[in-house]
Amino acid sequence: MADNGDEDSQYKIKEGDYVVLKRGDIYKAMQIQPRKKVIFEKQWFFLDNAVDHLYSTTFEIMSGGTLQPKKPKDTAGSNGAKEAGTDNRNIVDDGKSQKLTRDDIETLKEQGLKGQEIIQQLIENSATFRDKTEYAQDKYIKKKKKKYENTVTILKPSCRILAMMYHGREPGKICHLRYDTLAQMLTLANIHAGSKVLVFDTCAGLVLGAVMERMGGYGSVIQMYPGGGPVRAGVESFGFPAHFHDMLHEFPICHVNPLLAGTLDTTAKDPNADEKQSNKAAEEEQNQPEAEQQGSPEERSMETNAGDDAGQEQEKKEKEKRKEAKAQEKKVKLEEKRKKLAAAAALLESRNADGLVIASRFHPCPVLMGLLKFLSPSRPFVVYSQYKEPLIECYTKLREHGGTVNLRLTDTWLRHYQVLPNRTHPVLLMSGGGGYLLSGTTVAMDRPKPAGSQRAEEPAPKRLKLTDTEG
Amino acid sequence: MSFVEYSDFIQDGDVAIVYLSHDSMMPVKVQQGAQTQTRYGVIRHSTDLIGQRYGSKVTCSKGGWVQVLHPTPELWTVSLPHRTQILYTTDIATITMMLELKPGSVVCESGTGSGSLSHAILRTIAPTGHLHTVEFHQQRAEKVAEEFKEHRVDHLVTVRNQDVCKDGFGVTGVADAVFLDIPSPWEAVKHAKAAMKKQGGRVSSFSPCIEQVQRTCEALADQGFEEINTLEILLRVHDIRTVSLALPDFGPDPSAQTQPDANEKAPPPTSGPNHASVTLKTTTPPREIPGHTGYLTFATKPRT
C-alpha cells in the first residue's frame, strides 16, 4: 500500500510499453518501439527519448522529431500587459487586424520557433487584441494554442482513456459505444475480481479489456468470439501484465450449440469439428510464407526434377526440414488450441458463470438467449446495442421465456460543462447517442413448461397485476 | 455470501435481497428461526431461505412468491435504508470508471453517508485495495461500519468519524483516488491532495449546485490539479409497451371500386374499417424522470 524503494519503476515509460499519446482531447494508443516514426496530430516524431521518463510527462516536439520534457512553468500564457477592452463596439472585422501573413507564419515555423513564441508573435501583431475583452483574449490564446502548440503527453493506458479515445477516433469500430455507457455496463454486470464472466465483444476488444481491468487478474473471463478468431486489438492497448492473460479464455460461438447439446467432443478425437477449422487456419498460415518465398507449385516441380544439382538437393533438404519443423510447430499449436478449447468448454459446461456482457454488431437476441444458459441463477447480465429496437425484442423474448427479473432498457445522456469564472455553461456540442442497454438478473427457472402456460401458473390476481406493471 | 464474492447457497447470517418487483426490493438479514413479512405473506428463514439457492423462487404464506437474490452493490443501492441522500448506480458507474478504480486501488471517500457508493467502491477494489472513508456524523459512521461487517467487507475499509474539511482523511500519500460528496468540497481539496500518492491520481467531487462546482474547480486549479472536467449523466429508462394505433375510416373509396384489377388482387381491403388498427412494440418514457442528480467534477493530480 505504502510507497516502497523501487516506487517509481512501475511509473516509468519502458521500451515495448503500450502507451497513449494525448494532446488536448485527442488520444492515440501506441507501442513504444525504437526508432519508429509516429504521426500524431499532423506532426511526426520518435518516442525513443520518452523511455525512462515518468508517465504523464508532457514533451515538446523538437525539430527532427525528438521529444524533450516540457518545463513545468512553461505555461505562463498570460500576456504581459494586462490591457483589455470592455466590449466590442469598436471592433470592426476588416480582415486586416492580423499583420502577419500566412507566409510570415510559415517562416516562423520553419525557423523552429516554439508554439508559445509563435502565439506571442500573433498577439503582438494583432491590432485588435488589446481592445478585446479579457474573456475574448483568453479565448483567442486558447484557440491559437490548440493550433500551434507542439506538445504531447504520454499516458499510461486505462479503461477511461481508451474508451474516450475509441469514442473520439473510431466510434464505428466500437458500435458507437460511448464511454459512459461502457461504465454503466461494467457496473450493471457487477464485474469484479474473482468471478467468472462471459464476454461477447465485437468492439475491437475494448469491452473485454475493460472487463479484464476490473477483474485485476483474479477469476476468469471467457471471450466468446464469432468467425475465425477473437479480436483483441483493444485488449492489447491496455498493456496488461502477462499474468492477466492466464485468466483469459476463448470459445468460438459456433461451438455453442454442440456444447449445449453435449455433442462437442474436446477430449480425445475432438479434431472432427475443431481440426477442420484449425487446419483451414493453418493452411492459410502456411500459404502466406510460402507465397512469399517462391509459390508452392513451383516448389513442387522443383522436387520432381531434382537430383541433377547438389546445391539444389541441399536446398531441397533444407526446405523439407523447414517444412517439417513448421508442421511440427503447427501440430504443437493445434494441440495447444485444442487444450485451450477444452479448458474453455469445461468452464462453460458447468453453467455457473457469474456475469454476461454482450456488445456486438450482431443481433443481440440470439446471442443473449444462447449465452444466458451458461449463467448461474441470481447473476447479472447486460446487453449493449447501438439501436433500441433489437433490445425491445430481447426484452419480449426474455419475458416469454422466463428465468430473468429486474429487466431494464436504458440509455444515458452525457453533458459536459465549461466551468470558468463568469463563463460557466454546458459545452455547446454534446454526443447525440451512446447506445442502449438491456440489463437484468437471472433467476432459477421453475421447470421447463410449454410456452403460453405461464398464465395458468400465476397464483394470485394481485401478483398478476404486479407483473403487468413491471417495466 | 459477501458483497465481493458470489456464493450459490443462502446461509445463516447472509444478507439476501428479496425481489418483489423491479421497484420493490428489500434486504433481509438471514437468521435461523426469524421471519420476514412481505405483502405476499411471511417468509420463514429456516425453511424458506437457509440452504436454498440464490435466485430461487420462494413461496410465501399467502401463496404468492418472490425471488431471493444474491446481494450486489447495485441491488443494495435500491434497497438500503436511507440515512442520507444517496448516489445512484448511474453516477456511481461513471465515478468508478473516471476515477480509474480497479482491484488494488486505494480510495478515500467523504462523506460515507448511507454507504451506497462505498459498497460499489469496495466491490471494485477487492481483494487487495482499501477504502478510507470519513463521516463526521457519529451515528452514521457507526451504523455504516456495522453494515460493512454484516456484509463481510470490513477487512477492506476503515471508517473514520471526523470532519474531512478540518482533519482530512486520516491518511497521507496513499490514495490512488479521492471522492468528495460533501456540502463544501472546496474546503477539502487540499486534504484530498495530501491523501493522494505523490505519483498522482484521480479526484472526483459530486455537487448538486453549480456554485459549488465553480468554487471546487477554482480550488482544484489553485492546488495544481489538471484535466479538470465537469459533466452530468442522466439515466433514461424506457418502458416497453405494446401500443395499438387505430386507423381512421375514410369512408367507402369509389376509386378503388372503379379499378377492377386492384379489387381482384386484394379482395377485402376495406373490411372492418371501424376497428382497424395497427399494434406495435415500442417504448414510452416514464411520465417523470429525475432531471438532475448532481454535477460530477473530475481532475487529475499530477506527480509532485
Phi, psi for B132 (deg, rounded to 5): -105, 110
Q: Are the beta carbons of A1 and B174 separated by less than 8 Å?
A: yes
Range ranked top by mean pLDDT from A261-265, A271-275, A430-434, B20-24: B20-24
Instruction: Residue B166: give the domain boundaries.
Output: 75-234+291-301
B128 and B67, same domain (yes or no): no
Measure the CA–CA gap between A251 and A198, rounded to whole angstroms: 10
A262 confidence band (pLDDT: 50, 70, 90) = confident
Residue A455 Cα, gap to closest chain B Cα (Å): 14
Measure the CA–CA gap between A284 and A274, rounded to whole angstroms: 16
Q: Examine residue B281 and state whether it is found in any structural domain, yes or no.
A: no
Chain B residue with Cα closest to A419: B214
Has B181 been labeled as part of a binding site? yes
B44 and B171, same domain (yes or no): no
Measure the CA–CA gap between A85 and A131, rounded to whole angstroms: 4
B85 and B223, same domain (yes or no): yes
* Opening angle at CA B88, ends B86 and B92, nearest 5: 110
Chain B residue with Cα closest to A9: B199
Q: Does the beta carbon of A415 lie under 8 angstroms from any beta carbon of chain B?
A: yes
Label residue B272 exposed, middle or buried (CB < 10 Å: 0-12, 13-18, 19+).
Answer: exposed
Measure the CA–CA gap between A236 and A142, rounded to whole angstroms: 34
For A369, the grid coordinates are 438467449
Closest Cα to residue B230, out of B260, B250, B208?
B208
What pLDDT digit, counting tens, does each position of B81-131 carry?
A: 999 999 999 999 999 999 999 999 999 999 999 999 999 999 999 999 999
B67 and B79, same domain (yes or no): no
B31 and B93, same domain (yes or no): no
B173 and B44, same domain (yes or no): no
Residue A297 Cα, gap to closest chain B Cα (Å): 54
Has B176 been labeled as part of a binding site? no
| Residue A238, C-beta contacts closer than 8 angstroms, at least 6 positions apart | A18, A157, A158, A159, A162, A209, A212, A213
Residue B98 Cα, gap to closest chain A Cα (Å): 6
3-state SS class at A386: coil
H or E segment at B152?
none
Q: Are the beta carbons of B100 and A216 separated by less than 8 Å?
A: no
Has B12 been labeled as part of a binding site? no
What local confidence, expressed as pLDDT, does residue B47 receive? 93
B222 and B90, same domain (yes or no): yes
Report which DSSP code applies to A64.
T
Q: Are the beta carbons of A419 and B228 separated by less than 8 Å?
A: yes
Q: Examine residue B230 and state whether it is found in any structural domain, yes or no.
A: yes
Q: Examine residue B282 and state whether it is found in any structural domain, yes or no.
A: no
Label residue B197 exposed, middle or buried (CB < 10 Å: 0-12, 13-18, 19+).
Answer: buried
Measure the CA–CA gap between A423 and B210, rounded to whole angstroms: 12
B46 and B156, same domain (yes or no): no
CB hemisphere CA count around A275 (13 angstroms): 13
What local confidence, expressed as pLDDT, does residue B244 receive? 94
Measure the CA–CA gap between B82 and A254, rounded to whole angstroms: 48
Q: Are the beta carbons of A187 and B74 separated by less than 8 Å?
A: yes
Q: Are the beta carbons of B231 and A184 separated by less than 8 Å?
A: no
Measure the CA–CA gap between B172 and B225, rounded to whole angstroms: 17
What pLDDT digit, counting tens, does each position of A142-173 carry?
A: 888 777 778 899 999 999 999 999 999 999 99
Instruction: Give A-chain residues touching B155 at CB under 8 angstroms.
Output: none
Interface size between A and B, measured as CB pairs under 8 A: 210
Q: How many domains does chain B have?
A: 2
Number of H helices, E strands in chain B: 9, 14
ipTM above 0.90, yes or no: yes
B203 and B108, same domain (yes or no): yes
**Residue B37 is which amino acid?**
Q
Q: Examine residue B50 and state whether it is found in any structural domain, yes or no.
A: yes
Q: A26, A177, A187, A393: which to substitute to probe chain B, counting the most B Cβ within 10 Å? A: A187
Instruction: Give A-chain residues touching B39 at CB under 8 angstroms.
Output: 462
Peptide bond between residue A241 and the one before it cis (omega within 30 degrees of 0): no
Q: Does the beta carbon of A379 lie under 8 angstroms from any beta carbon of chain B?
A: yes
**Residue A72 is which amino acid?**
P
**Residue B183 is which amino acid?**
P
What pLDDT digit, counting tens, does each position of B130-180 carry?
A: 999 999 999 999 999 999 999 999 999 999 999 999 999 999 999 999 999
What pLDDT digit, counting tens, does each position of A112-152 carry?
A: 777 778 888 888 888 888 888 888 888 888 888 777 778 89
Closest Cα to residue B13, out of B47, B38, B50?
B50
Q: Examine residue B4 and state whether it is found in any structural domain, yes or no.
A: no
Q: Does the beta carbon of A441 lie under 8 angstroms from any beta carbon of chain B?
A: yes
Of B19, B93, B106, the CB nearest to A187: B93
Report which DSSP code applies to A203.
S
Has B150 been labeled as part of a binding site? no
B93 and B221, same domain (yes or no): yes
Q: A74, A357, A382, A406: which to substitute to probe chain B, counting the most B Cβ within 10 Å? A: A406
Residue A354 contacts residue A376 (beta carbons within 8 Å)? yes
Chain centroid, CA A355 distance in Å: 20
Q: Examine residue B53 and state whether it is found in any structural domain, yes or no.
A: yes
- Which CATH number characterizes residue B13's domain? 3.10.330.20
Residue B298 contacts residue B203 (beta carbons within 8 Å)? yes
pLDDT higher than 70, residue B239: yes
Q: Examine residue B249 and state whether it is found in any structural domain, yes or no.
A: no
3-state SS class at A415: strand
Label residue A96 exposed, middle or buried (CB < 10 Å: 0-12, 13-18, 19+).
Answer: exposed
Query: Looking at B17, B37, B71, which one is the last position of a domain?
Result: B71
Measure the CA–CA gap between A344 and A333, rounded to whole angstroms: 16
What local confidence, expressed as pLDDT, does residue A273 receive? 44
Query: Looking at B56, B71, B86, which one is the last position of a domain?
Result: B71
Q: Examine residue B33 and state whether it is found in any structural domain, yes or no.
A: yes
- Which CATH number characterizes residue B137's domain? 3.40.50.150
Alpha helices in chain B (DSSP H): 73-77, 89-98, 116-125, 138-150, 164-167, 189-195, 210-222, 254-257, 260-265
Where do the domains of chain A lie, and which CATH numbers do they carry? 12-73 (no CATH), 102-148 (no CATH), 158-264+323-445 (3.40.50.150)
Measured from the Cβ of residue A175, the count of other Cβ atoms closer than 10 Å reads 20
B146 and B94, same domain (yes or no): yes
B154 and B214, same domain (yes or no): yes
